């Protein structure tokens, strides 16, 4: 009982320190009642001290929880929580919708170069690499100065390609950002945003971004839609319009959300992801992020202003080039 009492006193004293990192998992009223029972149990014979041992465990468990929370808070305080981030740009030549897409010229430069140059402007990334299974893409990227990691052709999606690239990196990273190679106008601030959201949200292992969906893009299956809860965690992604109303028509007054391709992962989770079997919703929608949600992991979503979109079809190239001319990005 002496150890438990000391723990209780230490925790109580810690609450009085103005600069202490602390957590209180019990209400003050319940805590007082527990302490009263705890004190009375000390006078019981050793053979009837069951309550004392239970309370000993409660106090010890609470102290451990406080220490763990304090450790996390200390990491946050000194900037060491998920501090190192790498940006990986997955790129493959064979695409069902647009063959050779990473190498298509965008105002005179390969699209993969445009994306890489934008990613290099992000302040939160310690390193940026291109991950590809195609030697033509690799040669092109090395030509403009990018670091390249060769990955296998068996990767089913960009997340698996990021995982394989992570295994081959010489340094350890806490956060991996999957930067879609077909986003030549991705803002560096969005990249920084999906890094910072994981640094601020310890229960999330996956971060991503959305922007407002234009009503005319509602029926387009190439524009992935997203719905979130009131705390900013993802509920669902779909190629169809979500939410869907009874009229079956796009409601121009509703704030639909368009999913942007960029994704960030806790590196420990990324090592688990390939081991998770495909899930029904993931396969039906052909959206890899649904496997994360179906397995019960939390995904934090940030909303940003972003009026461009990725290059999904050859027709999108002209739209992107028009936007670049308007913004004087040459």
Residue-wise pLDDT tens digits, 244-298: 999 999 999 999 999 998 999 999 999 999 899 999 999 999 999 999 999 999 9
pLDDT-based confidence at 155, cuts 50/70/90?
A: confident
- Which residues, in sequence order, are CB contacts of 156 under 8 Å at separation 6+? 288
What is the rounded average pLDDT of the residues 130-152? 95
Domain 85-326 has CATH 3.40.1230.10: no
Contact 237, 289 (CB under 8 A): yes
The yes-or-no verdict on residue 330 having pLDDT over 50 is: yes
- By C-alpha distance, which of 193, 143, 144, 133 is closest to 168? 133
* Beta strand spans in the chain (E): 85-91, 105-106, 109-110, 127-132, 147-150, 175-178, 206-212, 225-228, 234-238, 257-266, 299-303
Pairwise CA distance, residues 116 & 197, whole Å = 22
In this prediction, residue 177 carries a pLDDT of: 98
**Domain regions of the chain by residue span:** 2-77, 85-326
Contact 52, 143 (CB under 8 A): no
Mean pLDDT taken over the chain: 81
In this prediction, residue 80 carries a pLDDT of: 59
pTM score over 0.85: no
Q: What is the Rg, in whole angstroms, of the alpha carbon atoms belonging to the chain?
A: 25
Which range in 29-33, 73-77, 199-203 is most confidently predicted, on average pLDDT? 199-203
Task: Tell which phi-psi region holds residue 22, choosing left (phi > 0), alpha (psi between -120 and 50) or beta.
Answer: beta
Range with the poorest average pLDDT among 4-18, 154-168, 312-326:
4-18
Residue-wise pLDDT tens digits, 296-305: 999 999 999 8
Q: What percent of the chain has pLDDT over 90?
A: 59
Positive or negative torsion for Cα 3, 5, 11, 13: negative
Torsion angles phi and psi, residue 17, rounded to 5: -80, 120
In this prediction, residue 308 carries a pLDDT of: 66
In this prediction, residue 250 carries a pLDDT of: 94
- Crossing angle between the packed helical segments 111-119 and 188-200, to the nearest 10 degrees: 50
What is the rounded average pLDDT of the residues 312-322? 87
Torsion angles phi and psi, residue 147, rounded to 5: -75, 135
- By C-alpha distance, which of 58, 60, 64 is closest to 30? 58
In this prediction, residue 18 carries a pLDDT of: 38
Residue-wise pLDDT tens digits, 166-190: 999 989 999 999 999 888 999 999 9
With b meaning 16 or more CB within 10 Å and e meaning fewer, what string describes 19-37?
A: eebebeeeeeeebeebbee
Torsion angles phi and psi, residue 132, rounded to 5: -145, 160
Q: What percent of the chain has pLDDT over 70?
A: 74
Pairwise CA distance, residues 35 & 137, whole Å = 67
Residue-wise pLDDT tens digits, 39-78: 444 444 444 444 444 444 444 444 434 444 444 444 444 4
In this prediction, residue 316 carries a pLDDT of: 87
Contact 186, 111 (CB under 8 A): no
The yes-or-no verdict on residue 118 having pLDDT over 60 is: yes
């Amino acid at each position: 009982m002496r150890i438990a009492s000391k723990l209780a006193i230490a925790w109580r004293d810690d609450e009085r320190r103005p600069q202490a990192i602390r957590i209180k998992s019990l209400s003050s009223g319940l805590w007082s009642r527990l302490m009263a029972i705890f004190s009375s149990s000390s006078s019981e014979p050793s053979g009837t001290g069951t309550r004392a041992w239970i309370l000993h465990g409660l106090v010890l468990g609470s102290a451990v929880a406080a220490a763990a929370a304090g450790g996390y808070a200390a990491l946050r305080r000194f900037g060491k929580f998920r501090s190192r981030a790498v940006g990986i740009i997955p790129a493959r030549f064979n695409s069902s919708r647009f063959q050779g897409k990473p190498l298509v010229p965008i105002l005179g430069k390969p699209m993969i170069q445009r994306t890489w140059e934008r990613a290099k402007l992000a302040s939160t990334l310690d390193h940026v690499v291109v991950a590809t299974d195609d030697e033509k893409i690799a040669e092109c990227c090395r030509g403009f100065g990018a670091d390249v990691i060769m990955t296998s052709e068996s990767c089913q999606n960009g997340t698996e390609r990021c995982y394989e690239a992570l295994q081959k990196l010489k340094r350890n990273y806490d956060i991996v950002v999957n930067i879609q190679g077909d986003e030549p106008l991705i803002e560096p601030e969005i990249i920084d945003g999906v890094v910072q959201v994981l640094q601020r949200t310890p229960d999330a292992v996956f971060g991503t971004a959305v922007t407002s969906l234009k009503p005319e893009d509602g029926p387009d299956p190439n524009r992935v839609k997203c719905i979130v809860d009131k705390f900013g965690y993802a509920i669902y992604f779909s190629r169809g319009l979500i939410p869907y109303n009874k009229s079956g028509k796009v409601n121009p007054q509703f704030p639909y959300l368009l999913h942007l391709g960029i994704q960030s992962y806790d590196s420990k989770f990324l090592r688990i992801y390939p081991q998770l079997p495909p899930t029904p919703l993931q396969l039906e929608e052909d959206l890899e992020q649904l496997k994360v949600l179906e397995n019960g992991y939390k995904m934090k979503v940030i909303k940003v202003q972003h009026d461009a979109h990725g290059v999904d079809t050859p027709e999108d190239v002209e739209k992107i080039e028009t936007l670049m001319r308007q913004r004087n990005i040459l």
